[in-house]
A and B are shown apart, each in its own frame.
Chain A
Amino acid sequence: MRRTLTVVFAWAAAVLLAGCGTAATSGGTASKPTVEKSLILATTTSTQDSGLLDELLPVFTRDSGWQVKTLAVGSGQAIELGRRGEADALLVHSPAAETEFVAEGSVGSRRLVMHNDFVLIGPKADPAEVQGTSSAEAMKKIAAAEAVFISRGDESGTHAKEKGLWSKAGVTPDGSWYQSTGQGMGETLRVASEKAGYTLSDRATYLAQRGTLALDVLSEGDPGLLNVYHVIEMTKKAGDLVRPDGAKAFADWIVGPSAQQLIGEFGRAKFGQPLFIPDAGKDEATLGQ
């Protein structure tokens, strides 16, 4: 009896010691970053779900020595994390919310990084007959037909764009045909595909997952569908523990020539077209022309 008990305690103690050992080393690397070079990047699900960050971040770490902790959340949450000083740099695509945020004064700088576009996608059968129409027209038709529309509903950049399109179409989406997932782009595409619904997606996430979806692009190419990404540096005004040096290193790097080239090449081999178009240094007003 005692032996069994001893075994249990020995097991617990051994695991705990092993755990402490590793926890201590990981704690070591974790507490060092406050002295050492580690920054928190809050970004959108599209940059993670499309695989872009997996391509970029290892190169940034190699070039600069900065470790990056990436939080892939909606743009709304990313901005909120920046506001609270919980993130050092933001890579987001919700221009209206960003401009408001910059006006609050805790932001160091906001620079144009890249763009792609949103596409309105839906089932091949296209019950609301939106194929080839402009985005505002398509939204009107979907609402009139009460065809299933799957919204992100998570205050992300894509959700903000979708709300903008509804108001441009003069429609307040409401009713059982309008459904909200509250999840990221990948999950939302999946729901739309299963429910044969329409949804708005950034082109990169859609292309990266097209193979597993029963959805087609139905409306695209309208200037109202541009999807523009900016990098935002946070400052100590947002919080004492913010690392403006890390934020600056990341922002400078991602608008620099090597990162811009990687962005331009990303996805070209796999999809036959780039998923993002690098835009550093351009004037935002000239995009999509």
Chain B
Amino acid sequence: MDVLFNGLVDAIRLLLTGDQDSWSITALTLRVSLTATAIALLIGLPLGATVALARFPGRRIALAAVNTGMGLPPVVVGLFVTVLLWRSGPVGGLGLLYTPTAMVIAQAAIATPIVVALVAAALQQVDPDFRVQMRALGATPIRALAALLGEARLPLLAAAMAAFGAVVSEVGAAQMVGGNLAGQTRVLTTAAVLATSRGQFSLAIAFGLILLLIAFAVNLSLTLIQQRQPVLR
């Protein structure tokens, strides 16, 4: 148990003393995971809206596919991205493997299906009459869609949080495509795994606590946006 206590003390000490390595690991974690989440949102919102609202053949299969994608194992994504980025792979010449960019690519691939599936679910639960009403009131399709997205803002922000939570906490893909290089691609999860394998349990727990803390900070800011009273004009 004293390991847990020492971990807590270490975490506070790391946060207060501003240990250079821990700060850069934390900053990189935030940078990679927030970028990946943002890319997933930009791709996932329109895709999710399409799957939810458009009528096209194979729509149900597409829906089932994205729902499956929510459970995409990070290790599988990591392996796939690694093989693509290998020197002998199709885009190996870019030298992207073991860089933060590679980690963003892998994490965006993990987060996108989550966003698509949750956005689709969110938009489908809005009363179908809502869109008809909007159109009847003379709204352009774009305005109608914007209103619809506004109506579904609670689950939409939940989608962003789920996506961020999934990528910030995953270790398989980050380890494989990033390589856990000190000062270059070491993030909180891979640093915690390394500290554990070195027998530095307090340090590992400290990294874990910092991870929880930043996940909380990000989710808190999203929740504050989510819970704000809608402004009707």
Contact = CB atoms under 8 A, between A and B. Distances in A.
Interface in B165-205: 179-182, 184, 194, 196-199, 201
Interface string B85-105: 011100011111011110010
A185 B199 CA distance: 11
A31 B199 contact: no
Interface string B102-128: 001000000000000000000000000
B196 A186 contact: yes
Interface in A1-17: 1-5, 7-8, 11-13, 15-16
B42 interface: yes
Interface residues of A, number: 52
A26 B101 contact: yes
B228 interface: yes
Interface in A119-162: none
B206 interface: no
B181 A4 contact: no
A30 B38 CA distance: 22
A246 to B, nearest CB: 13
B181 A70 contact: yes
Nearest to A186: B197
A241 interface: yes
Contact of B38 (A16, A51, A185): A16
B160 interface: yes
Interface stretch (B52-60, B65-73, B146-154, B209-217): B146-154
A69 B184 contact: yes
B39 interface: yes
A186 B198 CA distance: 6
Given A1-B147, A69-B179, A186-B197, A30 B99 contact: yes
Nearest to A20: B35
Contact of B153 (A4, A69, A189): A4
28 contacts: A1-B231, A2-B233, A4-B150, A4-B153, A4-B230, A5-B146, A5-B153, A7-B225, A8-B153, A12-B41, A16-B42, A18-B31, A18-B35, A20-B35, A22-B31, A22-B100, A23-B100, A27-B99, A30-B95, A30-B96, A34-B93, A69-B179, A85-B88, A187-B196, A190-B199, A239-B87, A239-B88, A241-B95
Which 3 A-B residue pairs are closest in the complex by CB-CB distance?
A19-B35, A1-B150, A186-B197
